[in-house]
Structure 1
Amino acid sequence: MHIVLLGPDGQVGWELRRALAPLGQVTALTRADGGDLARPAELAAKLRSLKPDAVVNAAAYTAVDKAEGDAALAHTINADAPGAVATVMAELGGWLLHYSTDYVFDGSGDQPRDETAPTGPLSVYGRTKLAGEEAILASGCRHLILRTSWVHAARGGNFARTMLRLAAERDSLNVIDDQIGAPTGADLLADVAAHALRGAVANPSLSGTYHAVAAGETSWCQYARHVIGWARDRGVALKCGPETVNAIPTSAYPTPATRPLNSRLDTHKLRNAFGLRLPDWQAGVERMLAEALNLK
């Protein structure tokens, strides 16, 4: 199988280089190589010349707050480009695996949403990601759309590393406690993608949208307490301990883009279709921290 990987240098893309390799030839298409999602027509032309069996799209406009004032570019990258890629893959009879987000929902309630739940994005980012999903569906191509949330990786910046940096500088921290989700590792998302793509190619009836997050749930505040406690127990010098991480409501920390309070995603469909067991979020976070901090 010839796979083109878009966004190969991002957090998930970097892990996909490893995870996709056993499936066949992987062409990592950077922006400089013609894989620029801000130029959908050029990207489509490049894919037509490469004629891949599958495209895995790990690229997106993910600056959630910045998108509020940059809606046109966010729409081009998150909606127009995936639609263009999907159109090419429909022509070629190939597959598109694309990542989406919990931000396509309105964040109401306190129960996990499954793939059939009504959407209702609250932000430009969420609306453009939903538009991307709709463009893929409209193309008629064989596809796997993986909605996920709260992505972290040892490579690059993330919430956990920010909390550790701040905990080293401050005696206490205020962290939002009324947004609930599942921290999900880029490595897990890459492994799930490779496994699902292999299964779907063998059984095209599995084409569709799936929710892919680690097991369990937490708030940002509890997430921060877990990270800080784990690091302190392993000798990392911190001024702030988990007991001095204070819970605050979302209303106390206004941002340009509205965040969903409920980011819980139901993963039954993914687990049943592909025979997967998803690990608890704590295991992925601790593995990421051990790698990021070079701890045994």
Structure 2
Amino acid sequence: APMSGHYATLLRGTVEAFLPAHEVYITDWADARMVPLSEGRFDLDDYIDYVIEMLHVLGGNTHVMAVCQPSVPVVAAVSIMEARRDPFVPTSMTLMGGPIDTRRNPTAVNDLAQERGIDWFRNHVITKVPFPHPGMMRDVYPGFLQLNGFISMNLDRHMDAHKQLFANLVKGDGDLVDKHRDFYDEYLAVMDLSAEYYLQTVDTVFVKHSLPKGEMTHRGTRVDPSKVKRVALMTVEGENDDISGLGQTEATHGLCNSIPDHRRVHYVQKGVGHYGVFNGSRFKSEIVPRIHDFMVSAANPSSLQALAAE
């Protein structure tokens, strides 16, 4: 699940779509405002360590799927595991709407990071958790700022949605009203991120483009995606994605250039934005079956070769 301001419950629909045919596990990241200072810090290196540890706990024969933000740390984790010849490397990794190379078709989010630079973020969006939260005095990037940014990018769409809510209330259309409320109950629930994790992610992914430049490091060791050989790769993008532009996730294929062509798949879903890459009717009817086929076929090169050709 992404750790970018929302809780893992944002992927409830994603999990539900895969449950009928898969054994599903989901990351559940803690809200930084609820973690006492005595528990120590949490940064991008820690995140990558956790991904590796989770794959070890699951014990192999797994397929890792990253939705948006975790695409970079998942590629890093798998690259590190491959470099170490780790026996618990996943069978496949699926990256969905992830900011692997934000120099491609940059969005408003990408432009902001480039224009401001990391010092601006450090000075303007980091604050301390107030009393009486358990994480009092911890430096965080507050969730309400992230939410404000998301809403500001699509203000007209959110205003139209609330106008439509009123119209549906007048009509007495309870199903659409409930659907609206369910979405916004989830969308408006936000969590704080530890400052060191947030700033390291912004600097590494959006300002320096460290992964696609071959300059990303994990605890002093360079992350080398070309080491990935045993793991099948699938990338999924939304045609109208305004968070991770077209081509940003596909860039992974150029970085993981040691994966045989028949063990890699790229798919662009027509007519969906960022949220539609992992939720909604087109996700369920068109994206999920393709990911399912990819995962099932990952251990069968001939099957993957046919799937890649499609």
Question: What TM-score comes out, normalization by structure 2 length?
Answer: 0.32
Higher strand proportion (structure 1 or 2):
1
